[in-house]
Structure 1
Amino acid sequence: MKKLNWGVGIVITIACFIGFIMFFVIKMSTDKKYDHDLVTEEYYKQELAYQDQIDAQQNSARLAKNIQVEITAEGIQIMFPSEKKDIKGEVSLYRPSNKKLDLEIPISLENQQMIIPAEKLVEGKYKLSINWKSNETTYLYKKDLQIRN
């Protein structure tokens, strides 16, 4: 049996290392488990409307009593200010790690409250955004939520 010299050993080591790296590159790019979407759809369209969002957030901050959000066993409970009537809008739950788990729900109130059922939510981080309108004034409420089952 013939001995391997240093040159052949180094070439074999480098080839094994390149093979190891290529395996992980292919695995990470093809496996859906490692799919992370960090940007929203229509990013530029949202950026153009950014001043409107700032104005709506300022309107929300000026309220005497703002929206109250609680995470309960039933889901996410959202309580709107009692002095505001005829509320229309949308609740968005943005999941930074997976856009398939994003939710957009129109506001439907019962006694100035709305509940997003726990069955629709997966454990993890969400960015809650409530864009609503009352008496022709727009409001925007944002909050980070951590859902635990």
Structure 2
Amino acid sequence: MNTTKRTLYQAALLQSLVLDHYEGFIPVRDLMGHGDFGIGTFDSLDGELVMVDGQVYQVNGRGEVKKPEGNVKVPFADVFFFEPDRELPLEHISSLAKLRGEADDFINRWGKNYFYGIRIRGTFEKMYTRSEKAQQKPYRRLDEAMKTDQ
């Protein structure tokens, strides 16, 4: 494998999902060869793909989190090998709005026209997830599906 540092591997374009191309084409096990951190979705838009520290998780439409089998296919993902080049120590973040504000300030300082991967480590009382429900053929466009199925 000839993956270099600072390479963002993009399995399809987000626009392909917008246009209802939900069939997976790359197995999770192959995707893991291109990065250890990222996001995406699964075949038929069956949940959010979250890759952290080399582990892939599927957050399904019921809010359940599980590890998918390696042969499960992915129609879209953005992954890379996470290597921090900046750190922003944060303390006493009491709300998602405050966290978003800190992240936005950080990005504004370094430039908006880049891809960023932000890893947050901490202890949380609760974790809320948002995900889409698996779609059935004939597929609807993403904007239509998300009106009712997330």
TM-score (norm 2): 0.23
Q: Give the number of the structure whose residues are more often strand, by fraction.
A: 1
Structure-1-length-normalised TM-score? 0.23
Q: Flag the structure with larger Rg.
A: 1
| The structure with more helix, counted as a fraction of residues | 1
